[in-house]
Amino acid sequence: MAPATVRAAVCGATGYLGAQCVEILDRHPGIELTRVLGRGAAGRRFSDAVPGSRVTLEVDAGVDPGDADVVFAALPHTVAASHVREWLSAGRVVVDMSADFRLRDPLAYARWYGVEHPAPDLCEEAVYSLVELHRDAIAGADLLAIPGCYPTASLLATVPALRAGLVETEITIDAKSGVSGAGRSPALAYHFAEVNESVSAYGVSGHRHKSEMLQELAAAAGREVRLTFVPHLIPVTRGILATVYLRPVAGRGPADVTELMRELCDGNPFLRYADRPPATKSVTGSNVAAINVTDQDGVAVVTVVADNLVKGGAGQAVQAANLRLGFEETAGLLGASPWP
């Protein structure tokens, strides 16, 4: 049953993830965007802070979602966690795009993020909302934790094969991300003349997103997984590519992984099996993740591409909210080409 119109607020609305969320909600047939919140641009029209947007709501300071039924939060870590209880207690659904509720274990959060969790008791309640892998749990949850862009691409490539027992638990993931993944705050590391015409690895000793991957991979495998994960910065605005190296267990081969992934794609509106390793450009601006499996001398090389701000962020947030709120899974997610 389709719900009556739902009112939504977006926190952190003028960052890239928040702005992407605003654009999607603005086109959503069942959701009315009633409030956009953001510190930096408070008092300005949204379209003045985000070039090209047709949303002219005034940006509010603070984190009061007003009469919104659902809150989409694209805030720095710890900020959303400090307000979620208040939002939930007013009967709202909360869709959090930060890292705050991705880890079930508040101690792991403290270890990886270097700060105590502001609402440790809520960690257990949150649902890790990588839709295609956790569809059933989402429908009944009030606190949806949207995975990061790296985990989205990486887990789509690995969890199905681990669940099916097809591959070894020693896994290497080499990921490449566009620069918008680093957000909209200026810094030398994302200054045009430094980034342009260059590629480099970063976070090699241990990127924070590794923590949620370890959690999800262990759950899929039923035991610890030995993961090596190296992210790279690529001079494109949008796009993420995970190149995943999986070794089939004895008696299995890359073809089994291929078949499994074809089936997964067939059953999900936003997954597409690509006959050749897909280019990030083939999914730019869309909520689709494209997947290929290729056999290289017995190793299953899985490549997954997505738009880091859509399927790797705000698109997945709306996709998960659609399931929770009773909309079509694809509602509001078939158009859109926003900034940046």
The conformation of residue 14, written as its DSSP 8-state character, comes to T
Q: Is 127 in the site for its own copies (CB under 8 A)?
A: no
In 3D space, the residue among 31, 98, 7, 18 whose CA is nearest the CA of residue 59 turns out to be 18
Residue 118: CB atoms within 10 A of its CB come to: 18
The conformation of residue 310, written as its DSSP 8-state character, comes to I
Provide the mask over 251-280, with x wherever binding to its own copies is found by CB under 8 A and - wherever it is not. Answer: --------------------------xxxx
Q: Is 283 in the site for its own copies (CB under 8 A)?
A: yes
Return the number of the residue (49 or 81) whose C-beta is nearest its own copies: 49
**Alpha carbon distance 206, 33 (integer Å):** 38
Cβ atoms of residues 80 and 11 within 8 Å = yes
Q: Is 157 in the site for its own copies (CB under 8 A)?
A: no
Q: Is 236 in the site for its own copies (CB under 8 A)?
A: yes
Tokens describing residue 332: 């509001």
Smallest gap from Cβ 136 to its own copies, in A, equals 26
Q: Is 330 in the site for its own copies (CB under 8 A)?
A: no
Residue 149 is among the residues annotated as catalytic for this protein: yes
Q: Is 196 in the site for its own copies (CB under 8 A)?
A: yes
Q: Is 89 in the site for its own copies (CB under 8 A)?
A: no
> Can you tell me whether residue 155 is helix, strand or coil?
helix
- Interface residue with its own copies among 225, 234, 261, 265 (CB under 8 A) is 234
Return the number of the residue (129 or 280) whose C-beta is nearest its own copies: 280
The size of the interface with its own copies (CB under 8 A), counted in residues, is: 71
List 21, 123, 149, 265, catalytic entry: 149
Smallest gap from Cβ 210 to its own copies, in A, equals 9
Return the number of the residue (9 or 234) whose C-beta is nearest its own copies: 234
**Alpha carbon distance 139, 1 (integer Å):** 13
Prior bond of 65 cis (ω within 30°): no
- The DSSP code sequence of 197-231 is T--EE--TT--THHHHHHHHHHHHHTS--EEEEEE
Return the number of the residue (98 or 280) whose C-beta is nearest its own copies: 280
- Interface residue with its own copies among 76, 111, 137, 226 (CB under 8 A) is 226
Residues 291-310 that bind its own copies (CB under 8 A): 292, 294-297, 299, 301, 303, 305
Smallest gap from Cβ 85 to its own copies, in A, equals 33
How buried is residue 289: exposed, middle or buried, by Cβ count under 10 Å (0-12/13-18/19+)? buried
Residue 305: CB atoms within 10 A of its CB come to: 29
Q: Is 243 in the site for its own copies (CB under 8 A)?
A: yes
Half-sphere exposure of 196 (CA within 13 A, CB side): 3
The CA dihedral of 29, 35, 38, 42, to the nearest 10 degrees, is: 130
- Interface residue with its own copies among 1, 4, 188, 250 (CB under 8 A) is 188
Q: Is 249 in the site for its own copies (CB under 8 A)?
A: no
- Interface residue with its own copies among 63, 195, 220, 318 (CB under 8 A) is 195
- Interface residue with its own copies among 88, 219, 230, 249 (CB under 8 A) is 230
- The DSSP code sequence of 67-125 is T-SEEEE---TTHHHHHHHHHHHTT-EEEE-SSTTT-S-HHHHHHHHSS--S-GGGTTT
- Interface residue with its own copies among 7, 44, 163, 232 (CB under 8 A) is 232
Q: Is 340 in the site for its own copies (CB under 8 A)?
A: yes
Residue positions annotated with a catalytic role: 149
